[in-house]
Amino acid sequence: MITINNIHFSHSATSPAVLQGISLQAEQGHLTTILGPNGCGKSTLFKCIAGLWKPDFGEISFNDINILTLTHQQRAKLIAVVPQDHEPPFPYSVLDAVLMGRAAHVGMFATPSRRDRQAAESAIEEVGISHLLHKSYTKISGGERQMVLVARALAQDARAMLFDEPTSHLDFRNQVLVLRKIRQIIVRRSVTAILTIHDPNAAMLFSDSVVVVKEGRVVVQGPPCEIITEELLHEVYGIEVVIGKINGAMVITPHISSESSDNGEEDAKIVNFDSHKNHRKRRLCLT
């Protein structure tokens, strides 16, 4: 279980605080999703949990171990991080890329052993990309690359996993496939998992617990079907939405027509941004 207790973060002493007392809990075997609009402090919070940035104060612990005082190597044995999709400078093979997950376990003056290689291969098998083993990591699709990063995190053999917007660069099909696979792994391995995401629908569908963050504070945390309401989403995102039920799942859909109450406000923002575009938009609405 990951417990975060009242962390504060600001980039420098003079700049305003990005995180203002965040507390949350992520249970073992559950997928805990951090949801919030751009600029809410989601990625800052993620970097703090991952150990890249140190909060000004507050505590982050995993199974009662304070992770803020660990070295990178000690922490990497407990928590594996799946970063956003990225382009490496050299075209490593998928196997070599996954093998990097073993870095915390390989001695400083050593190369990966047979055991490390086996761990990498079984991780590749577990996420179902064995056919890519010797393919170049730069020449596979974004969805496949995301799965390689998931396999790398599995090879790391950690009891907690963090996912940084794993679906942000993917098409619809791959978003679903990747999230499904992540869920399956979390349940099977019974790891503690935290995931950040933009899309409230995906958060509703796939997570056990949702933490809604706005302006550096937690608005609410709980099971998605209990806490996510039309009012909450309006409060956090500033747009009117309707929540309905399709096929037993809760689905969020925004208002599209300009008649609804929030659109005046939204239009005003767009005018500031680009008045020309707004004209066109209005014309489309009229016709």
| Interaction of residue 81 with another protein, rule CB under 8 A | yes
Among 50, 160, 178, 179, binds another protein (CB under 8 A): 50
The size of the interface with another protein (CB under 8 A), counted in residues, is 33
- Give the Å distances, CA to CA, from 5 to 8, 19, 25, 62, 259: 9, 12, 9, 12, 43
Nearest CA to 214 out of 1, 98, 41 is that of 41
Q: What is the DSSP string of 186-244?
A: HHHHT-EEEEEES-HHHHHHH-SEEEEEETTEEEEEE-HHHH--HHHHHHHHSS-EEEE
Buried b (16+ CB within 10 A) or exposed e, 84-100: ebeeeeeebebbebbbe
User: Shortest Cβ distance from residue 151 to another protein (Å)?
Assistant: 13
d(CA 146, CA 198): 17
212 binds another protein (CB under 8 A): no
Among 41, 51, 143, 216, binds another protein (CB under 8 A): 51
| Minimum CB distance to another protein smaller for 161 or for 204 | 161
Strand partners, 222: 210
Cα distance between residue 70 and residue 85, in whole Å: 26
Residue 89 engages another protein in binding (rule: CB under 8 A): yes
Q: Looking at 81-89, 181-189, 216-224, 249-257, which segment touches another protein (CB under 8 A)?
A: 81-89
Residue 111 interacts with another protein (CB under 8 A): yes or no: yes
Residue 12 binds another protein, judged by CB under 8 A: no
Closer by beta carbon to another protein, 22 or else 158: 158
Q: Measured from the CB of residue 178, what is the shortest distance to another protein in angstroms?
A: 19
Give the pair of three-digit tokens for residue 178. Answer: 């990747």
**Residue 3: both structure tokens together:** 């417990």
Instruction: Kindly tell me which residue out of 13, 108, 256, 284 binds another protein, with binding defined by CB under 8 A.
Output: 108
Told to check if 112 binds another protein by CB under 8 A, we report yes
Write down the residue that tokens 């409060």 correspond to.
235
Least distance (Å) between residue 112 CB and another protein: 7
Compare residues 134 and 283 and give the one whose CB is closer to another protein. 134
242 Cβ contact partners less than 8 Å away, ≥ 6 residues apart: 230, 252, 253, 254, 255
Q: Is 75 in the site for another protein (CB under 8 A)?
A: yes
- Among positions 25, 93, 260, 278, the unique one binding another protein when judged by CB under 8 A: 93
**Residue of the chain from 13, 64, 109, 114 that contacts another protein (CB under 8 A):** 109
Residues 147-166 that bind another protein (CB under 8 A): 152, 156
Which ranges in the chain belong to alpha helices (H)?
A: 42-50, 72-78, 94-99, 114-126, 142-155, 172-189, 200-206, 224-227, 230-237, 263-273, 275-286
Query: If binding is defined by CB under 8 A, does position 100 make contact with another protein?
Result: yes
CA distance 51 to 34: 17
Question: Any contact of residue 261 with another protein (CB under 8 A)?
Answer: no
Q: Return residues touching another protein (CB under 8 A).
A: 50-52, 71-77, 81, 83, 86, 88-93, 96, 99-101, 103-104, 106, 108-112, 152, 156
